[in-house]
Amino acid sequence: MSDYDFDVLVIGSGPGGYVAAIRAAQLGLKTACAESRETLGGTCLNVGCIPSKALLHSSHLYEEAHSGALAKFGVKIDGASLDLDAMHGQRLKAVKGLTGGIEFLFKKNKVEWLKGRAAFTGKDTVEVAGKTYRAKNIVIATGSSVTPLPGVTVDNEVIVDSTGALELAKVPGHMVVIGGGVIGLELGSVWRRLGAQVTVVEYLDQILPGMDGEVRKEAAKLFKKQGFDIKTSTKVTKVERKGDGAVLTVEPAAGGEAQTIEADVVLVAIGRRPNTDGLALDKAGLVVNQRGQIDIDHDFATAVPGIWAIGDVVPGPMLAHKAEDEGIAVAENIAGLTGIVNHDVIPSVVYTSPEIAGVGLTEEQAKERGEVKVGKFPMLANSRAKTIDDTAGFVKVIADAKSDRVLGVWIVASVAGTMIAQAAQAMEFGATSEDIAYTCHAHPTHPEALKEAAMAVQGLPIHI
């Protein structure tokens, strides 16, 4: 009999960990997953992707019903009102259904849930809730948590992080968001739609770092039009509780005169950092890099044989689908198969209105590498967008000037998150812009705008 309790022990049940555990079990490996939360699914299902998208949907419906925006379609709604408790109820129902679903999948696939916080006691041993388990392979999938802002204490009442911002019991009069990234804009959108005045304070000269420059500009323009007050190149130097609210002191990032801003709620959303505290990595002989991440090779193996790492705790974008794909790949590698993730083709989506999505290189990055051709198509000229009178945004295709191979696609459109999947698939297959331009697209649909942007790379779009 084997000396090991498990072939694979996964630490953390987020999208990386639970997927790795299920795939390992599917491949015939005896698998356990340690999770210290009361429910499975990690940040994404409990306090991230899922509850935020639930609130984004509900708040969008409320804004449409309440603002009179539907009247132009012949739908008149008088006296639409907000039931915030019901909205939170819907959020919790989505979370419960999905986290419970992972528990079901664990049972179905015979993955054992070790309830409690795991810590290494050696290279192949881990302690969970007072018991030590020996595993042939250990996968670290402990994810990430909110980066604190030095000198600012999150109380999750007035000064909140993303988790607190999902659970506010009433709509704040004025919400100040520190950080113009994905969380700030998504959760800022939720509370703005429900009636809050929202100010975003961003340290850099533009919001949405990492995205294509033109997309960042267009996004800022659209958010300002929606009523966001966006203060870029501004740093927060102090946040103090005052009465039922808080006062922020801000000044130009380059230095200059300080100003104060009063807020009912302050959302700190300046990024996330890897979770390695309390794991006792030293007992396994592992160290973290300068950014606190666990370094891995192409196969997700750490420096210690038998220990692997995936998801937010390793370098790369902190996204659920990236973690999931790494979860599948690491399990396949452990089972002796060949698990690969193409990190050049990881889409990212901001679920605001309109949605903002991208995959591959930005125009700026592509130009640094060589000559490019760029094709753009405005949603204003897309028949489906016109039909539903939701014409904000554009599609942009960036292709290599010589080979025509698609290097990046950027989309601002009501359904950009759905449209980007086609671009990712095309890039995964090594498509040229001509391949997309000559693929028959159903009419009238939003993806026709991608086809037209690809035709624009060829210099021959039809509808502009």
Catalytic residues: 443
If contact means CB under 5 to 8 A according to the sort of partner, which of ligand NAI, ligand FAD, none does residue 203 touch?
ligand NAI
Contact with ligand NAI (CB under 6 A) among 111, 152, 318, 366: 318
Q: Determine the interface stretch with ligand NAI among 15-23, 179-187, 289-297, 432-440 (rule: CB under 6 A).
A: 179-187
Whole-number minimum distance, CB 144 to ligand FAD, in Å? Answer: 5
**Coil/strand/helix, residue 68:** coil
Residue 186 marked ligand-binding: yes
Q: Is the separation of the CB atoms in 18 and 152 below 8 Å?
A: no
Contact with ligand NAI (CB under 6 A) among 22, 160, 201, 309: 201
Strand partners, 124: none
Q: Which is nearer to ligand FAD, 320 or 399 (CB)?
A: 320
CB-neighbour burial class of residue 86 (10 A; exposed 0-12, middle 13-18, buried 19+): exposed
Whole-number minimum distance, CB 98 to ligand FAD, in Å? Answer: 12
Q: Which is nearer to ligand FAD, 321 or 441 (CB)?
A: 321
160 touches ligand NAI by CB under 6 A = no
- Per 3-state DSSP, what percentage of the chain is helix, strand, and coil (rounded to 5)? 35, 25, 40
Residue 59 marked ligand-binding: no
Q: Is the separation of the CB atoms in 137 and 10 below 8 Å?
A: no
- 16 Cβ neighbours under 8 A, 6+ residues apart: 42, 141, 143, 310, 311, 312, 323, 324, 326, 327
Residues interacting with ligand FAD, by CB under 6 A?
A: 11-17, 34-37, 42-44, 48-49, 52, 117-118, 141-144, 162, 183, 275, 278-279, 311-312, 318-321, 323, 351
Whole-number minimum distance, CB 199 to ligand FAD, in Å? Answer: 19
At 162, the amino acid letter reads S
Q: Which is nearer to ligand FAD, 157 or 368 (CB)?
A: 157
Query: Cis omega before residue 354 (within 30°)?
Result: yes
Whole-number minimum distance, CB 457 to ligand FAD, in Å? Answer: 28
How many residues make contact with ligand NAI (CB under 6 A)? 27
23 half-sphere exposure, CB direction, 13 A CA radius:
23
**Coil/strand/helix, residue 424:** helix
Residues numbered 266 to 285 that lie near ligand NAI (CB under 6 A) are 269-272
Residue 175 marked ligand-binding: no
Q: Is the separation of the CB atoms in 181 and 51 below 8 Å?
A: no
* Rounded Cα gap, residues 462 and 439, in angstroms: 14
Q: Which residue is nearest to ligand FAD (CB)?
A: 143
Buried-exposed string 272-310: b where 16+ CB fall within 10 A, e elsewhere = bbbbbeebbbeebebeeeeeebbebeeebbbeeeebbbb
Whole-number minimum distance, CB 187 to ligand NAI, in Å? Answer: 8
331 touches ligand NAI by CB under 6 A = no
And the tokens for 454?
């690809």
202 touches ligand NAI by CB under 6 A = yes
- 121 Cβ neighbours under 8 A, 6+ residues apart: 127, 132, 280, 283
If contact means CB under 5 to 8 A according to the sort of partner, which of ligand NAI, ligand FAD, none does residue 323 touch?
ligand FAD
If contact means CB under 5 to 8 A according to the sort of partner, which of ligand NAI, ligand FAD, none does residue 333 touch?
none
Contact with ligand NAI (CB under 6 A) among 190, 319, 385, 415: 319
If contact means CB under 5 to 8 A according to the sort of partner, which of ligand NAI, ligand FAD, none does residue 181 touch?
ligand NAI
Residue 57 marked ligand-binding: no
Residues numbered 206 to 265 that lie near ligand NAI (CB under 6 A) are 209, 235-236
Backbone φ and ψ for 250, nearest 5 degrees, come out as -125, 155
* Rounded Cα gap, residues 391 and 412, in angstroms: 10
Residue found by looking up tokens 């940040």 in the block? 43
* Rounded Cα gap, residues 246 and 256, in angstroms: 22
Q: Which is nearer to ligand FAD, 347 or 461 (CB)?
A: 347
Q: Is the separation of the CB atoms in 348 and 359 below 8 Å?
A: yes
> Could you give the C-alpha distances from 104 to 27, 101, 259, 404, 447, in angstroms and in order?
18, 5, 53, 46, 36
If contact means CB under 5 to 8 A according to the sort of partner, which of ligand NAI, ligand FAD, none does residue 37 touch?
ligand FAD
Q: Which is nearer to ligand FAD, 143 or 172 (CB)?
A: 143
Which residues define the annotated binding site for NAD(+)? 179-186, 202, 271
Which residues define the annotated binding site? 53, 142-144, 179-186, 202, 271, 312, 318-321
Which residues define the annotated binding site for FAD? 53, 142-144, 312, 318-321
Provide the binding-site residues for ligand NAI, judged by CB under 6 A: 149, 178-184, 186, 201-204, 209, 235-236, 269-272, 317-319, 348-351
